[in-house]
Structure 1
Amino acid sequence: MTAVSRLWSLVVRGPLMVPVFASIFAVALALAFVPAARAQGVQPFVGGWHLDPAASELRFLSIKNGDLAEANRFDTISGLITDQGKAQIRVLLDSVDTGVDLRNVRLRFMLFESFQHPEAVITAQLDAALLRDLPALTRKEIDLSYALSLHGMTLSNHARVSVALLGEDRVEVASVAPIPVSAAKLGMAQGIATMEQAAGVSIVPVGIVSFTLVFERGSPDAPNTAADTASAPQATAPSAAGRAGCADSLAEASRAGGIQFSPGSTRLRANSGPALDRVAEIAKGCAGLRLLIAGHTDSDGAAQANLRLSRARADAVAAALATRGIARSRLQTRGLGEAEPLVPNSTPANKARNRRIEFTLAE
């Protein structure tokens, strides 16, 4: 690793803004290329390779209010390279670690929307000839092409990475220079706007990623799904922050939405499950505190009918949380109908925002 690379690694020791995510993934793929260079035979991928998560890091920096940089990382990643040279890296989005519980919740719910998109996946088809001279050089830089699937979108890109041999069956891939990534290209512009509103800050919509990824020779049958990793963190654990931290976490879960009903019905849609799981985890981390579940509707239909519907939907959410281990005695429900809209009921999009479930701490 060059002096410049080492310096950059120190500067961006922490993660960066989510948009930068793509860059980091690119690096991961580069790592996968290492095996190709390692082997000198005509079949360099025989036996497969797997990522060593304990020795690997995916870091990104987020910048807010003009010049305030915050360091972040992802704690749960996995990867492999098959006998055919197909490389894959998976990142569990819920494993984002900013060092602040509330900030973690905002990134998971508002930016990544991990209740709908739980992981990011990077793939590449490796060329055995690309690194055939690595055994003799021990280190070289390459341009790596990759595909990143994140937040429901798939982008193709490339990055400059450094590949170094660490031993007979071990290689390291690291970013050579900062890798900027636009939030808009990953469909995250609205998520950033939501975070800005929630936190009262301005966020630079471009992130910068750095990484150090290590692969070892091994079975391509090694776990290849980050979500299967035993060390995957719980959705949130706000109890350490006390009552205020629990209230903030519930507020963020409310803003994130994700709880949906069939039209005019109290039947929860199947895709509401992940959001309900998150609220249940928050409730478990706030042991001893009671939750208030409030239902809201738009202004379509009779006011009294909307009031009854909103109350019944709040009761349905309480029942769903009870099946997830939250004592029903800790859950208070209320229906507010169309009385407290977030925005005027003037457009279909506004009405969708007003049809919601909100969580707060009960008095």
Structure 2
Amino acid sequence: MNISTSLSRQYIVAAVTALFLGLFSHPALADWQLDADNSHLSYGSIKKNSIGESNHFQKIDGRINEDGDITLVIDLASVETWVDIRNTRMMKFLFNTEEFAVATLSGQVDMDSFNNLEVGEKVTLDVAFSLNLHGSQQPLEAELVVLRLAKDKVVVLPHEIIFLDAEKFGLLPGLKKLQELAKLPSISSAVPLAFYLTFNHTP
């Protein structure tokens, strides 16, 4: 490894650390803070046209502020596929985490509908997001269910399956490389997402 590569990697690690600390080290600034221990974000992949696999990210963080602005940050290097060499290949060839360390999802919700929920009630919201992934920023619309578990706790889930198009984010070359390395006839570029996100109120 040459000096410039080493410095580049150190810069990326520092930048990611600063991003997480800058967004989430002051929870008092956020109205609702993600409870990462009680949240989960996974995605599916389909290979050989019929074999489905589920992977997830071990490190995510996020918040919803008092104006309804949502920010969710995903540490792409925390991808977990349950196979070490596959984790490494995903980071290197698909996500290219040395250059694109995180994915960021931003959007806005109607806080009146959000805050007026009674414990045990739920509401369905149409939300427009912007997803920044692999250097590409694309719009994303989703119908979300917000369920109030307690006065200071809600959980957010997708009402319908959410699909990402890998091609729109420039991920096809990475998929083809993974396909080549694993000697697979195909890997689908349609990626289904599943998640539950728990937020705690921080006055």
Query: Residues 265-324 of structure 1, C-alpha deviation per residue, up to 9 Å, x if partnerless?
Result: xxxxxxxxxxxxxxxxxxxxxxxxxxxxxxxxxxxxxxxxxxxxxxxxxxxxxxxxxxxx
Describe the SS at the equivalent of 1:213: strand
Larger relative helix fraction? 1
TM-score scaled to structure 1, two decimals? 0.46
Counterpart for residue 204 of structure 1: 188
Query: Residues 70-89 of structure 1, C-alpha deviation per residue, up to 9 Å, x if partnerless?
Result: 11100000111233332211
**What's the RMSD between the two structures over aligned residues?**
1.9
Alignment match of 2:34 (pick from 24, 35, 51): 51
Is contact 2:119-2:151 (8 Å) kept? no
Structure with greater Cα Rg: 1
Alignment match of 2:111 (pick from 128, 140, 143): 128
Q: Which amino acid aligns with 1:91?
A: I
Q: How does 1:282-361 map to 2 (within 5 A)?
A: none
Counterpart for residue 216 of structure 1: 200
Counterpart for residue 85 of structure 2: 102
Larger relative strand fraction? 2
Measure how far apart 1:185 and its partner are: 0.9
Alignment match of 1:72 (pick from 55, 66, 70): 55
4+ residue runs of structure 1 moved beyond 4 angstroms? none
Whole-angstrom CA distance in 2 between matches of 1:133 and 1:48: 14
Whole-angstrom CA distance in 2 between matches of 1:180 and 1:170: 27
TM-score scaled to structure 2, two decimals? 0.80
Measure how far apart 1:49 and its partner are: 1.4
Q: Are the structure 2 counterparts of residues 116 and 47 from structure 1 closer, same or farther at C-alpha, using a change threshold of 3 Å? A: closer
Is contact 2:124-2:146 (8 Å) kept? yes
Measure how far apart 1:132 and its partner are: 5.1
Describe the SS at the equivalent of 1:61: strand
Is contact 2:33-2:62 (8 Å) kept? yes
Whole-angstrom CA distance in 1 between matches of 2:74 and 2:119: 32
Instruction: Say whether residues 1:159 and 2:142 are aligned partners.
Output: yes
Gap runs ≥5 in structure 1: 1-44, 220-363
Query: Residues 214-239 of structure 1, C-alpha deviation per residue, up to 9 Å, x if partnerless?
Result: 000126xxxxxxxxxxxxxxxxxxxx
